[in-house]
Structure 1
């Protein structure tokens, strides 16, 4: 079926590829003082056409597809603006387009079919791009984004860290590549690495709050979209590359990308290689170290990764159609997972990753093959203006290897298709429909296969519209899905939890095992989640606007939240899914209907984006009914490993024998908070940025949700003059003592970071040499949002040297 979809799409693309029209627009782009802006980009909304202004700020766009044209104009350090024109057959000349200067960097968001900038959205959006992305990129996605407002990292030893948006992560935060699900296993557990690479990305977008209208119920908490040019939309030749060496873990990084082409063909190639050893810390890895623990290193944090992408596109007068293939290989240690102690590992780097099995007792070996088809077609007449098509097939596998042998293997084959049909403006309304299909075949086999094999299918229909009413922009949308989860041979074992006897159950068939009786049965769950949203942006004064977004979003629980029943060492817990309940001292099948999560979300955003000062203030309130979280049952179960006589049940630091039992339970919760950013251009070279965020996450029945990010403040002083750029950043994390049951509090800490870069030309290449330092005060830091906060503190003082170039 998936192959038929691809063929149908390509045939339709060829049949509908024609265009008509010869109107043109010429003009000039200026700032608010009438000075021409060179290098500003002028693009035609709904058409694959963009030009740059010359030294006098002048531009020409020709061969417009329709008489109603909308130009989008953007320039660095200026706010973006859209201009609407009715173009006669002879065209328009001497059009003047004015942009307002902005201290806040404004970047268009590719995650939206409207491609609006962050200042034009009713929902809060952050975009990390350009030099800022290159300076902040890390080996994991979570650590790359951890300084963005409202975004934290679940820091998993620097090897598998994922982003947390407003206190939500896992299956509530969708990770995408160019708008399509990353197709990995990172939403299942924190020890599973995100299969996306920041070093070859052009920008990373964070949509805070429910983004379910575009992406589905998996985005009930937000979306992180990693954008690259793997399917080029033009064939102009350009390239970027970088080399970096970091001290704290002896990391070596090389990455590069190339876009080129000929005639109507665009070609793309990228690749990267990264290798690092165990990272250094100022103290002990364990919060309460043993006498034989070694100071100064965190074991099992070495990693190596490599990957490449090949892509090509056929460029049409009214759009493009392209294909790409990407390969990713990543091998990384799993900290806090070693069963044999620390003596033979701590204090040693593991640079030879071919000997992982001998040097590190537990590590992950990840492989992903990913195919994508993207197309955008624009039409000059008729009801349909644009058809955007996105297809992906992903084959993902990672094995967890212990003592040189595979212990558990996770596999995920996924297929996804999304078609957006945008209509021609009608009564000034702009929008359309989206049809979205996603299929995932997930399998976990081995000693730590805490969730059974399952198939998840989703089919959805979405609708989105927006319209300007004078200074108001109104945005409306709705989406309905059909989600089906199928699993065969689901197990209900007697886990022999402490304080409970083994009992017979009335469900399924009995199978004798060493652990006791096991019940086997099949599961088929169907859900119909829906989402509705209304938003408005009010430009109440020049350079100011107010955004308001109200939404109601539903989410079906994921397969792991429903079906888990086994040891999950990545979270140091024995996880039991919502399909089971604890009844009279035993786990039995839940006979009650499984409820969907329902989130009612309110966002208010005030922005100032022109002049020498700018700010963004967000306030949000999110009431979630039937929120699935892991509830501590107070029971303990064996982790499934054979530890022989060396296991000591009395050692609270050795989780190899027993794990606390957590049950996925549904409860009503409330999350609310504030996010703020203030930017002041002190003078030509100096800019000051202040920001902070606060999140409160609590159970309505009393108590707090676990791993809630603490209150955070940051101040950054940046300098940019001629060829030199520098910045100094201090971030203060406050103490977090609002904790869940049996969760420990964490102390506050301050991180000091800095960087300096120098730009110069070497022939036709533009080069930048840089040095950056992190945690310059070498502070010992326990990250409250981390599952391993008592085992893996943040890295100590780190210095990185690098050079990057472009042509």
Structure 2
């Protein structure tokens, strides 16, 4: 597999050097207000498939240089206060193009990348996709990148304190949701409860979330959906700029800052970013949770070429975090105690020094992304290497107990045939080779190697008022676990498993009337069991349980039906999505018949831990999301979303574990026009989480609750730029509550209380 990846890398580089069939060209255009015909200066214009960006001048005009002389590409124009516009541009025939933008109080992002192999207008995309901008992510005041997404309908998070969040989409999480960073699938021991996403939240220009099975395009682990973290746009040719962002959160003293610089010198593009976060133990009414703090340091860089033959970008990054883990909850009075039985004061709990147990994670990533224009089509590839080093410290801050080293080599190569505007065929091949080694003196999973490859074909047919698409895919994966003996006892027994599957998808998108779109999709998903499900045998810090895997597990497969209706007018929008997802051989951990096991701790004590074994059943998840936004009065927005999912174990009609409660979000947002300021807003919101009274036998009921949020922000005008300032308040009534998916609920530790965050973003020109 590594040889195949190397061959593909050499082929990509060779084609990048040899692809000179297209001559260099340029084209111009203009962006105006549709009603007044006045030029719009400062509008962003870009071609995603070429990673080419420019900005309109004072006359509303833009110019692209060093683009190919032929080919059809999707051109997109964004401008605050106007509907996003996009259209296919034929570079062989187009020299000048004009966009007339329609004013709108509703932001509209029509272009998505995640749902299809190429950039496509959302009106012709059959999959349920939502997108969040960097501004929305910042204003959410999330402690990490997944926390910032948690209010998107259908998206939830499994949390371990304030530092670690794992995404779930429509009730499916862990290895059923695939995260894409720098164009490559993230691999970082994501099977664990307290193993979060290793990505710098400041580096995300926007995040696109694909809800539903995406195994056709991404293979195993995309059975539930995909979260695509998209990097900054390449700056316009001849420009050098940057940004400094910093914020402070009062609840846990979270300081978060990031500095980014980038440039474009005649198609040679570069970017560098450094980020740092630090927090002490989070607080709820009257108490700080000891050892729930964390710190995080991230460095990333990009070097690349944007030329007439396409582009090639090399992304390098290092993600490092240290996270405190909580082993004991409070007593009946709410107090926390140290190992000697002394009460831990709130002052001590606010220390930024981490105590034991804790974990340290280093995640290194190198990804080469390219799009080479070849034969009138596009050859897109992502070749990546990742190394994840995860250490857990229990008795010593210097010698880790659990020490896992995971190497992952991934490749994703697809060819998009020449686009005639009607038929859009694509073929692709993807694969991954992994090795995992235990280097500590404690063990949870065995050493293993994994090897998988998949190939797919995808076809889209465009019509005047919509499109249909279909695809088929084949995957093959092997997982080999190794024996392990310790002190004459067998900890792990070797196994050799292989899995294969054929996936398919069929969908449509149709414009029923002006601004009214109907979408539908039926797709099958596939997921091979992860290494913990197959081979775990040990205690996992921070999860309060002992896990035992099952090497006889079968692969999961699913069949989901999805139907959506969207209406986007000037002052009113609504969206409705309903889905039914049947999963065969659904894998989940359970504590059956109250099984426990004595566990010898390193300090000589013995703990009695509940035993969780991995089992399988057929399952059904049904649910839906709804959103209604009213903008009947100028500058006043009333936005509402609702999400519900019901999971059923079909063996006995009982509830599936780890299913989020239904949620209703309401937000009133006022955007006044203040002289000398831009993008001002004041918002007040309610998050209503319903009671979760459907739970598995080893879970407990979670009461409903309502949280009050508020915030305001504005932009200060500068020459050719602006400074953004915002204040966000969360849980302002300081409500005591448990989220059903909080891992600390088992220890009777509440979720965070009141938090106020102040942030500022300063451009560097």
Q: Is the 8 A contact 1:255 1:270 kept in 2?
A: yes
Deviations 1:568-594 (A, max 9, x none): 343322222222xxxxxxxxxx5xxx4
User: Which structure 2 segments of 5+ residues have no match?
Assistant: 330-337
**What does 1:595-634 align with in structure 2 at a 5 Å threshold?**
595-634=554-593
Residue 108 (structure 1) shift = 3.1
Residue 72 (structure 1) shift = 2.7
Residue 730 (structure 1) shift = 0.6
1:789 and 2:745 equivalent? yes
1:141: which partner in 2? 145
Q: C-alpha distance in 1, partners of 2:467/2:258?
A: 41
Q: C-alpha distance in 2, partners of 1:371/1:40?
A: 32
Q: C-alpha distance in 2, partners of 1:756/1:780?
A: 25
User: SS of 1:738's equivalent?
Assistant: coil
Residue 763 (structure 1) shift = 5.8
User: Which structure 1 segments of 5+ residues have no match?
Assistant: 284-295, 492-510, 580-589, 648-656
User: What TM-score do you get using the length of structure 2 for normalisation?
Assistant: 0.90
Residue 30 (structure 1) shift = 4.7
Out of 687, 706, 710, the position equivalent to 1:754 is 710
1:368: which partner in 2? 363
1:548 and 2:498 equivalent? no
Deviations 1:86-109 (A, max 9, x none): 6776x5657565658472431533
Question: Structure 2 vs 1, CA of residues 711 and 341 (structure 1 numbering), >3 Å: closer, same or farther?
Answer: farther
Question: Structure 2 vs 1, CA of residues 341 and 127 (structure 1 numbering), >3 Å: closer, same or farther?
Answer: farther
Out of 185, 189, 192, the position equivalent to 2:192 is 189
2:670: which partner in 1? 719
1:728: which partner in 2? 684
Out of 674, 686, 697, the position equivalent to 2:624 is 674
Q: Is the 8 A contact 1:299 1:342 kept in 2?
A: no
Q: C-alpha distance in 2, partners of 1:85/1:153?
A: 40
Out of 153, 159, 170, the position equivalent to 1:155 is 159
Question: Structure 2 vs 1, CA of residues 520 and 742 (structure 1 numbering), >3 Å: closer, same or farther?
Answer: closer
Out of 495, 518, 523, the position equivalent to 1:523 is 495
The RMSD of aligned alpha carbons is: 2.8
**What does 1:553-564 align with in structure 2 at a 5 Å threshold?**
553-564=525-536
Q: Is the 8 A contact 2:657 2:696 kept in 1?
A: yes
**What does 1:587-598 align with in structure 2 at a 5 Å threshold?**
590=552, 594-598=553-557
2:339: which partner in 1? 340
Question: Structure 2 vs 1, CA of residues 175 and 638 (structure 1 numbering), >3 Å: closer, same or farther?
Answer: farther
2:481: which partner in 1? 487
Out of 117, 131, 136, the position equivalent to 2:135 is 131
Deviations 1:4-56 (A, max 9, x none): 54333212211114413758565655537866555444445754545444555
Q: Is the 8 A contact 1:47 1:318 kept in 2?
A: no
Q: C-alpha distance in 1, partners of 2:408/2:711?
A: 40
User: SS of 1:666's equivalent?
Assistant: strand
User: SS of 1:244's equivalent?
Assistant: strand
Q: C-alpha distance in 2, partners of 1:367/1:46?
A: 31
2:333: which partner in 1? none
**What does 1:562-581 align with in structure 2 at a 5 Å threshold?**
562-579=534-551
Question: Structure 2 vs 1, CA of residues 424 and 763 (structure 1 numbering), >3 Å: closer, same or farther?
Answer: closer
Residue 372 (structure 1) shift = 1.4
Q: C-alpha distance in 1, partners of 2:278/2:603?
A: 32
Deviations 1:343-362 (A, max 9, x none): 45452356765x53xxx120
Deviations 1:664-718 (A, max 9, x none): 1110000010101111113222111011100100101220011211111010011
1:690 and 2:643 equivalent? no
Q: C-alpha distance in 2, partners of 1:781/1:348?
A: 23
Out of 729, 732, 738, the position equivalent to 2:694 is 738
User: What TM-score do you get using the length of structure 1 for normalisation?
Assistant: 0.86
Q: C-alpha distance in 2, partners of 1:759/1:43?
A: 24
2:465: which partner in 1? 471
Out of 221, 224, 243, the position equivalent to 1:221 is 224
1:257 and 2:260 equivalent? yes
Q: Is the 8 A contact 2:86 2:111 kept in 1?
A: no
Q: C-alpha distance in 2, partners of 1:388/1:538?
A: 28
Question: Structure 2 vs 1, CA of residues 644 and 552 (structure 1 numbering), >3 Å: closer, same or farther?
Answer: same
Residue 546 (structure 1) shift = 0.7
Range with bigger deviation, 677-686 or 410-419:
677-686
Range with bigger deviation, 57-66 or 708-717:
57-66
1:312: which partner in 2? 303
Residue 66 (structure 1) shift = 5.6
User: SS of 2:11's equivalent?
Assistant: helix
Q: C-alpha distance in 1, partners of 2:99/2:265?
A: 34
Q: Is the 8 A contact 2:289 2:349 kept in 1?
A: no
User: SS of 1:219's equivalent?
Assistant: coil
Out of 274, 290, 299, the position equivalent to 1:299 is 290
1:423: which partner in 2? 417
Question: Structure 2 vs 1, CA of residues 107 and 693 (structure 1 numbering), >3 Å: closer, same or farther?
Answer: same
Residue 768 (structure 1) shift = 2.0
**What does 1:73-112 align with in structure 2 at a 5 Å threshold?**
73-76=76-79, 77-84=81-88, 101=104, 103-106=106-109, 108-111=111-114, 112=116
Matched length: 741
1:173: which partner in 2? 177
Q: Is the 8 A contact 1:102 1:614 kept in 2?
A: no
Residue 470 (structure 1) shift = 2.3
Q: Is the 8 A contact 1:210 1:221 kept in 2?
A: yes
Residue 196 (structure 1) shift = 0.7
2:390: which partner in 1? 398
Question: Structure 2 vs 1, CA of residues 456 and 214 (structure 1 numbering), >3 Å: closer, same or farther?
Answer: same
